[in-house]
Amino acid sequence: MVFRILLVEDEADLADFVLRGLREEGFAVELAADGPQAWAALKGSAWDLVVLDWWLPGEDGLTVLKRYRAAGGASPVLFLTARDAVGDRVRGLDAGADDYLCKPFAFDELLARIRALLRRRDKTPNLKVSYNDVSIDLAAHRAERAGRPLDLTTKELSLLSFLVRHPGQVLSRTRIYEHVWDETFDGLSNTLEVHVMELRRKLEAHGPRVIHTVRGRGYVLRAPSEEA
Ligand code: CA
């Protein structure tokens, strides 16, 4: 597979050099030359990795990075800082960067860090999902609400993660059934209702109702503050 990398860099010579080098290494690379372009590229496409310069015209890299993470962007980000200042590196990492590299850098070091990030990403798929005060760690088979652990069965966990992945959407019983039970819904079984009831009981021990019944249509996960 070809990895897609977004390179955000405003210095034309450096951008050109890195772009060519990475393409020679077999990566598919696109360039964004300022903050707004970077944001548009991040919003518009999925990237395997982002190389992000700190100092950019329009909007600095740190702001772009914070907004990207706040919007749920999960691609690994390698941050380029101009100075080897501890404060800058810490701010970059705090904002959601996965690694950083200080300018000037050797191309081989950039390449080594990119490869390391891509390897790490492949090993740790994003199995954590959350909505409001409900969060799920699928790898660890754990869920919690408002920081309190929920004792869920495997089916309840699957049901909850399906809902959490589609917040605010009315999910039909057929659709839920096919995803969670991997079976065709026969229209008669009350298995789903029983599981929803049990899941509600466990969730509502730590907060108000979030799984709502939409009569004749299915269920929707909605926070109390988003009540229609
Ligand atoms: Ca720059």
CA of 142 to the centre of ligand 1 (A): 42
- Cα 113 to ligand 1 centroid, rounded to whole Å: 19
Most distant pair of Cα atoms in the chain: their distance: 67
Number of domains in the chain: 2
Same domain, 116 and 18: yes
Do 154 and 58 share a domain, yes or no?
Answer: no
**Spatial contact of 179 and 162, defined as CB atoms under 8 Å apart:** yes
Q: What is the pLDDT of residue 85?
A: 73
N-terminal to C-terminal alpha carbon distance within the chain: 45
Q: Are residues 112 and 52 in the same domain?
A: yes
Distance 14 CA to ligand 1 centre (A): 9
Residue ranges making up the domain that contains 80: 4-121
Same domain (yes/no): 59, 112: yes
From the CA of 34, how far away is ligand 1's center (Å)? 9
How confident is residue 42, by pLDDT bands cut at 50, 70 and 90? very high
Q: Of the candidates 115, 45, 104, which has an alpha carbon nearest to the alpha carbon of residue 78?
A: 115
Residue 177 has pLDDT above 90, yes or no: no
Residues 136 and 210 in one domain: yes
The average pLDDT across 7-29 equals 93
Residue 93 CA to ligand 1 center (angstroms) comes to 18
DSSP string, 14-40: HHHHHHHHHHHTT-EEEEE-SHHHHHH
d(CA 120, ligand 1 centre) in Å: 27
**Cα dist. 185→16, 139, 178, 219 in Å?**
55, 27, 7, 15
Q: Write phi, then psi, for 31 (nearest 5 degrees).
A: -110, 140
**224 CB-near residues (< 8 Å, 6+ apart):** 207, 208, 209, 210
Separation of CA 118 and ligand 1 centre (Å) = 24
Residue 75 CA to ligand 1 center (angstroms) comes to: 21
Instruction: Please state the rounded mean pLDDT for residues 1-29.
Output: 91
Q: What pLDDT was estimated at residue 185?
A: 66
Rounded Cα distance between 22 and 27, Å, is: 6
Residue 177 phi, psi (nearest 5):
-60, -45
With bands split at pLDDT 50, 70 and 90, how would you rate the model's confidence at 80?
Answer: very high
Task: Indicate the pTM of the whole model.
Answer: 0.56
Amino acid at site 93: L
80 Cα: distance to centroid of ligand 1 (angstroms): 9
- Give, as one character, the DSSP assignment of residue 216: T
Picking from 67, 99, 121, the residue at the C-terminal end of a domain is: 121
- Residues 145, 215, single domain; the answer is yes
